[in-house]
Amino acid sequence: MSNHTLVWTNDMLDGFVIAVASGKGGTGKTTIATNLAHYAAGLGKKVQYLDCDVEEPNGHIFLKPQIDHSQQVTVDIPQVDLEKCIGCGKCDEICQYSAIICIKENVLTFEQLCHSCGGCMRVCPADAIKQKPLNIGDIEFGKAGDIDFVHGKLRIGHVRTPSLIKKVKNHIKQNHLAIIDVPPGISCPVVEAVKGTDFVLLVTEPTPFGFNDLKLAVELLREMNLPFAVVINRYGIGNDEVEKYCKAENIDICLKLPDDRRIAEAYSSGRMIIDELPEYKKHFADLTKVIKVS
């Protein structure tokens, strides 16, 4: 079991990508991600914050960026020309997601199930299927002080979360320290958000639910062979199961943020901890020192 360690140096910051994830929602993941971005930018580093929690992005509440432009994100889905269709059923046969179904001479498409693989278009012998764009969300770009800000917003009713996350990550700047706010959980959107990152901070809280979801998240990251360390938020509540587990599994705990009512107050009013409670700057300074990879 390797102990992941990486020394935070100026060189490393250029093009280094840190994902801030959590096995469950409500652990303070965005608090850690935004304060880390704010702290690193305060050191004079080039920092980019990318909110990939596209179903419910809320980093903007804390960073309060000035949005200067946006772009729509589309994916290609099939559109069938029934005049040309000969009812062969090949599109239905190849689709792994039941997103296109041939019933007698009729072909039905289910755009929310489509994964845009293009298979149906390739196999259609009558050239009856064309691509049409489906708008799944938007990406907004701006500045939060010196921080480059990017966030994705999935359109209500759409389910192509990993596709939108991928598009948000396409905007990672190579010469910046990029901090990715990952969706909660351990499903496909999380896999897409952490894929290819250099380091993952796994935020948890010392409660039975936090502990349970942390273990699942650790399994996922080990499966993906990604270096990671744990942040314990609201340290002091609950029990010491998380600490014992991390010790037994040789996992670094790189920050313990105490259960402090003033942090909760700052959070609930959308303010940054390190601005409101300067004594906590040290915690983020320590965090930047102990993020390690080996």
Residues that bind ligand SF4 (CB under 6 A): 78, 80, 85-91, 94-95, 97, 99-100, 102, 107, 114-120, 123-124, 126, 128-129
CB atoms within 10 A of CB 10: 9
Any residues with CB less than 8 A from the CB of 94 and at least 6 apart, and which? 119, 120, 122, 123
Tell how many helices (H) and how many strands (E) occur in the chain. Answer: 12, 11
- Nearer of residues 2 and 106 to ligand SF4, judged by Cβ: 106
Nearer to ligand SF4, 63 or 95 (CB): 95
Smallest distance, ligand SF4 to C-beta of residue 96, A: 7
Rounded to the nearest whole angstrom, what is the least distance from the CB of residue 40 to ligand SF4 in the complex? 40
Based on CB atoms, which residue is closest to ligand SF4, 109 or 197? 109
Task: Pull the structure tokens for residue 111.
Answer: 């755009």
Distance between CA atoms of 142 and 138, rounded to whole angstroms? 13
Considering only CA atoms, which of 173, 167, 171, 144 is closest in space to residue 154? 167
Q: Which is nearer to ligand SF4, 82 or 216 (CB)?
A: 82
Helix %, strand %, coil % of the chain (to 5):
35, 30, 40
Cβ 278 to ligand SF4 shortest distance, Å: 52
Provide, rounded to whole angstroms, the least separation between the CB of residue 108 and ligand SF4.
10
Q: How far is the CB of 193 from ligand SF4 (least distance, A)?
A: 22
Strand partners, 66: 143
- The residue (of 80 and 255) whose beta carbon lies closer to ligand SF4 is 80
